[in-house]
Amino acid sequence: MRVLLAEDEITIAVTLGDALVEAGHELCTAADTDTALALLESFQPDALITDIRMPGKGGMAVLARSMELDPQRPVIVTTGFGTIDQAVEAMRLGARNYVQKPFRNESLVSMVGTFARVKHLVAANAALKEELRSHGAFQGIVGASAAMRAVFERIRTVAPSEVTVLIEGESGTGKERVARALHQASARAEGPFVALSCAALPESLLEAELFGHARGAFTDARRDKKGRVELADGGTFFLDDIDDMPSSVQVKLLRVLQERTIERLGEEKTRSVDLRVVAATKLPLVELVRAGKFREDLYYRINVVPIQLPPLRAREGDIPLLFEHFVRRHGGGRRFTVSASTLAVLARHPWPGNVRELENAVQRAIALAGSREELALADLVPLDPRWRGATEVSTEVRPLRDVLREVESAHILRALEACGGHRSQTAELLGISRKVLWEKMRDLGLNAAG
């Protein structure tokens, strides 16, 4: 917390100030009213501690001005000559606490600590509301299922570090979006994000595209060119489809990971690079290692922290969220509806193309809808044998209590996550008592989560 201490008694200012700084707060002091009033605007404190009797207009004027500038800013008023009328007036003006001297510094430090926790709760509540408002989106990735919450938690945990990450998942599951989320949540967010797919280039061009080349290195090399690795210097390099990387290139990538150096094709100069590497594979690399198709030493270099992306068929509860997300993205501002029976069919489709296939289905349905506002199943279902019989699946209506339990459980888990697992803070955030929270968690089987 940024704390403004308005106190003209030097002993109190020094000892209380030292205690606040030792507790981790940022401090600014004022010995008279005019200085305190100026610091309210220039320092913009999170909390104010002011003595009533100070040179100038006094602490009541500082309190009143603080309330004008920021009614939510907590204020502690101290005095050595307190009266009941004075205390009532201070509380009427908005003071959170009224403390008579002499006081123990620890008590005021504890009050400021409470203010800090409340501030954290307010911020966490705002973040939680924003997450709910965005329909389960995290860093542009949509999902509220348990599997995706685990992915989001892994991203939050790993992003601030510099470790190499291996993202595993079928084609179309959103591996590049996870890589971008790691980049955006890292200290390298202001640096470049450079992506390259090993499957997109033949072996003869992949090495030059990765590491660059010098003029004359081969027939069409008319000028020096930086490779993707060098372009990612200071940022994140995302290497997609690493399972398609030829063995001849694997050994050179290993050098980048070990020494953070490269050599452009056609030159002997060694160049240093500062980057984080995130790789992705659509096939289990450990099986390719066993088959002798992928270097074991490279596998262990890139698989420092794995992130496993579930296929869409394993997170069918996210399909309505994703469907709505893609309708908003591709609907051109139009409002479309879809029937519950159609959503039920979509939930039962195996989605071999995963999220990418679902997005294509929504785009196709919007294009075929014409002037209609409802997206019909016939528009969503392509002429594909994998969809045969899908429209004949009966729509099961689940009991409302089961649906409500799932929603309540997910909401409590999000609140617990926002509060770092602290149940008292979670109860306050949810607007219920700790006892009610405990009972709900017990009934929902969430006791292990807190």
Report residue 3 as tokens.
């704390």
d(CA 386, CA 206): 35
Same domain, 170 and 264: yes
| Region of residue 333 (left: phi > 0; alpha: psi -120 to 50; beta: else) | left
Domain end (from 124, 154, 171): 124
pLDDT above 80 for 418: no
Residue 416: per-residue pLDDT: 78
Is residue 319 a part of any domain in this protein? no
Is residue 132 a part of any domain in this protein? no
Same domain, 160 and 224: yes
Strands 236-240 and 276-281: parallel
Q: Are 322 and 353 in contact (CB under 8 A)?
A: no
pLDDT digits (tens, 9 = 90+) for 246-290: 998 999 999 899 999 988 888 888 899 999 999 999 999 999 999
pLDDT digits (tens, 9 = 90+) for 138-197: 677 888 888 898 999 999 999 998 899 999 999 999 999 999 999 999 999 999 999 999
Domain end (from 93, 124, 155): 124
Report residue 104 as tokens.
């123990």
Same domain, 150 and 192: yes
Q: Are 74 and 96 in contact (CB under 8 A)?
A: yes
Specify the 3-state DSSP secondary structure of 201.
Answer: coil
pLDDT bin (cut points 50, 70, 90) of residue 387 is low
Is residue 188 a part of any domain in this protein? yes
Angle between helices 400-418 and 146-158 (to 10 degrees): 10
Per the structure, the count of domains in the chain is 4
Q: How many CB atoms lie within 10 A of CB 31?
A: 18
d(CA 73, CA 260): 48
| Alpha-carbon separation of residue 72 from 5, 47, 151 (angstroms) | 17, 9, 36
CATH number at residue 404: 1.10.10.60
pLDDT bin (cut points 50, 70, 90) of residue 400 is low
CA dihedral 71, 76, 77, 79 (to 10 degrees): 180
d(CA 83, CA 100): 10
Angle at 443 between CA 441 and CA 449, to 5 degrees: 30
Same domain, 336 and 382: yes
The boundaries of the domain holding residue 417 are 400-449
Report residue 241 as tokens.
């489809």
Same domain, 382 and 420: no
Residue 127: per-residue pLDDT: 57
CATH number at residue 152: 3.40.50.300
Predicted TM-score (pTM) above 0.85: no
Same domain, 156 and 301: yes
d(CA 22, CA 20): 5
Is residue 152 a part of any domain in this protein? yes
CATH number at residue 54: 3.40.50.2300
Q: Are 348 and 393 in contact (CB under 8 A)?
A: yes
Is residue 133 a part of any domain in this protein? no
pLDDT digits (tens, 9 = 90+) for 97-129: 888 888 999 999 999 998 888 787 666 555 555
Residue 398: per-residue pLDDT: 54
Same domain, 387 and 405: no
Cis peptide bond upstream of 202, omega within 30: no
Residue 394: per-residue pLDDT: 40
d(CA 263, CA 212): 8
CATH number at residue 387: 1.10.8
pLDDT, mean of residues 66-80: 92
Is residue 120 a part of any domain in this protein? yes
Same domain, 263 and 369: no
Beta bridge partners of 137: 142
Angle at 169 between CA 163 and CA 172, to 5 degrees: 120
Report residue 24 as tokens.
């981790």
Is residue 316 a part of any domain in this protein? no
Same domain, 273 and 168: yes
d(CA 422, CA 139): 24
Same domain, 179 and 284: yes
Is residue 34 a part of any domain in this protein? yes
Domain end (from 284, 310, 336): 310
pLDDT, mean of residues 80-105: 84
Residue 224: per-residue pLDDT: 85
Same domain, 361 and 425: no
Residue 423: per-residue pLDDT: 84
Same domain, 189 and 292: yes
